[in-house]
């Protein structure tokens, strides 16, 4: 299974192996085909020439031999990739000499952009009153072994010096 990022061009790969010998296909013409399995275009093939979906088999593009193994790759335009849709990808060597094989493609679940330092700082600033109250509770009970507001016993024998700033450390 391969993962893709929605609304972005994605590079897909397939290994191409000769039926007769089992060896890697390293030259010739290999065409990739991308078929939507779910979503509004389920059962249709993506045609690279006009970025449309077709009811009959259509080429997603000519692949390029990638490395010393059997891997071929193709960059498919962002128009093909829709969040949540599942796809099937397969390739054909021009003489149909390859072992037929298809691979599944699904949305990459880890496509969110991490927050910036300024976004984190703003979040800390927005919640500083609550955070300071928590830290004050810790300071209030230092060494007592009793946490106020929770009625919990804890081991707080180590001394604590608290400096509350962005990137603060508690020692």
Q: Residues 77, 119: one domain?
A: no
Q: pLDDT of 86-103, one tens digit each?
A: 999 999 999 999 999 899
Q: Residues 126, 84: one domain?
A: no
Domain finish residue from 75, 107, 139: 107
The model carries a pTM of 0.64
pLDDT greater at residue 40 or residue 154: 40
Residues 108, 4: contact at Cβ < 8 Å? yes
pLDDT greater at residue 133 or residue 165: 133
Q: Residues 37, 121: one domain?
A: no
pLDDT greater at residue 12 or residue 132: 12
Q: Residues 101, 145: one domain?
A: no
Q: Residues 137, 76: one domain?
A: no
Domain finish residue from 90, 107, 124: 107
> Could you tell me the residue range of the domain that residue 133 belongs to?
113-171
């Amino acid at each position: 299974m391969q993962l893709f990022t929605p609304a972005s061009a994605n590079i897909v790969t397939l290994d191409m192996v000769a039926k007769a010998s089992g060896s890697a296909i390293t030259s010739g013409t290999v065409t990739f085909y991308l078929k939507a399995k779910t979503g509004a275009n389920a059962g249709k093939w993506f045609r690279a020439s006009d970025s449309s979906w077709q009811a009959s088999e259509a080429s997603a593009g000519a692949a390029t031999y990638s490395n010393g193994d059997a891997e071929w790759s193709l960059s498919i335009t962002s128009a093909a990739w829709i969040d949540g849709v599942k796809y099937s990808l397969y390739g054909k060597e021009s003489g149909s000499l390859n072992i037929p094989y298809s691979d599944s493609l699904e949305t990459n679940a880890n496509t969110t952009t991490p927050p910036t330092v300024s976004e984190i700082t703003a979040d800390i600033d927005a919640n500083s009153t609550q955070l300071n109250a928590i830290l004050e509770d810790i300071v209030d009970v230092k060494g007592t072994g009793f946490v106020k507001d929770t009625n919990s016993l804890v081991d707080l024998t180590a001394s604590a010096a608290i400096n509350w700033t962005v990137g603060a450390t508690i020692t």
